[in-house]
Structure 1
Amino acid sequence: MKFTSRLKAAIFCFTMISAATFAQAPAQEKIEVSDTELGQVAKAFMGIQQVNAQAQQEMVKTVEESGFELERFNELYEASVATDKNVEASSEEKEKFGVVMNQIQNKQASFQKQMEDAIVKEGITIERYQQVAVVLQSDKDLQQRLQAILTAGQQ
């Protein structure tokens, strides 16, 4: 149960970072992606996942070191992004929440740079990675090809 709460907290924290990391490109028609290029995308994706895991750990650590319980921090975070949620908080708690959010946001640029580096390291441009990522959302064949590469890479 505690691990689930920690994971939930990390996901909520990281959501605000990853949402801004790679802006969605406009939806596109089907594009040609070679096996080599898809392999580059797969390796970049795995690199981004590693950065994501590191970022989650660092954000959880930041929240815990501030003295917040992760569950309480999540309640405050959810209330800060959802206009229909209202959570009671003391002025001291609101101030502490603001400080922690600033600390997390200050780390965002570093995590974004690491994600971009993970893409470029694989020999693919960020723009092309984004283009393939957008097409992957709706192209089932491309999804299956990527999944096969990712599965083979884990064995």
Structure 2
Amino acid sequence: MNRFRKYLRWPTVVAGLLVITSLLVAGLGQAPMFGAGASQVETIDLTEEDMVSFVEVNKQMIELQVEAEKEMVEIIEEQGFSIEKYIDIVTAENNPEAESVATGEELEKAQEISGKMEALDQQLHQRSLEIIDEGGLTPERYNQIAMSLQNSPEYQERYNELMEQELG
């Protein structure tokens, strides 16, 4: 059995987090969804209070994601890898048709990185839920607002205006 199988998602998470962070900071991205059934959330009418609460929560989420991105890069670089090298190793190890691109020592380091990433992911998820709660929202309400923003150009425009004001 491939010892990296459970870590298959880390290259995607690392690359995805880098993209999501840049999109959120630019006001172009969508918020992550939380909780069971997150993809089945319906669009709702939003109040100005909903928008303001969501923007305040997302400002903190952006800060959390930027910090997480730094931590992920640090975890990878502490083992002497570039992000690209780590992604290449884990991707190759999870593809049965690919030739290994790493030495045994590199594989051990990549596995250690992946373990640290998994622990960080759990911390980030917990902190995200805390931020949502501190912002006066439930994960379900957060998801409803996020879905409504995603589906409404009008709400997206207002969200971007409020984020611009928040981020200065």
Q: Structure 1: any 5+ residue segments left out of the alignment?
A: 1-7
1:26 aligns with 2:29: no
**8 Å contact 2:34–2:140 — kept in the other structure?**
no
Identity %: 20
Amino acid in structure 1 at the alignment position of 2:84? E
User: Match for 1:26: what amino acid?
Assistant: Q
Partner letter of residue 93 of structure 1? E
Shift of 1:64: 1.0
Q: 2:149 maps to what in 1?
A: 136
2:33–2:146: 8 Å Cα contact kept in structure 1? no
5+ unaligned residues in a row in structure 2: which ranges?
Answer: 1-10, 22-31
SS of match in other structure, 1:105: helix
RMSD: 3.0
Residue 15 of structure 2 corresponds to 12
Match of 1:90 in 2: 103
Residue 4 of structure 1 corresponds to which residue in structure 2?
Answer: none
* 1:152 corresponding residue in structure 2: 165
Given the superposition, is the C-alpha separation of residues 85 and 142 from structure 1 closer, same or farther in structure 2, using an over 3 Å criterion?
Answer: farther
Q: Secondary structure at the match of 1:25?
A: helix
What does 1:3-82 align with in structure 2 at a 5 Å threshold?
A: 11-12=14-15, 14=17, 22=34, 24-28=38-42, 30-79=43-92
Match of 2:24 in 1: none
* CA positional deviation for 1:140: 1.0
Q: Tell me the CA shift for residue 84 of structure 1.
A: 7.5
SS in 1 for 2:140: helix
User: After superposition, what is the alpha-carbon deviation per residue over 1:37-75, rounded to whole angstroms, capped at 9, x for unaligned?
Assistant: 110001111111111011111111111111223321122
User: 2:123 is matched with which residue: 86, 97, 110?
Assistant: 110
TM value normalised by structure 2: 0.72
Q: Deviations over 1:66-94 (max 9, x none)?
A: 12233211222444567786552223222
Q: Distance in 1 between matches of 2:139 and 2:97?
A: 36
Change (3 A) 1:98 1:81: same
Distance 2:74 2:99 in 1: 26
Query: TM-score if structure 1 supplies the norm length?
Result: 0.77
Residue 39 of structure 2 aligns with an amino acid whose one-letter code is A
Read off the aligned partner of 2:165 and give its amino acid letter.
A
The alignment of Structure 1 onto Structure 2 pairs a total of residues equal to: 144
Give, in angstroms, the shift of residue 11 of structure 1.
Answer: 4.2
Cα distance in 2 for residues equivalent to 1:129 and 1:147: 17
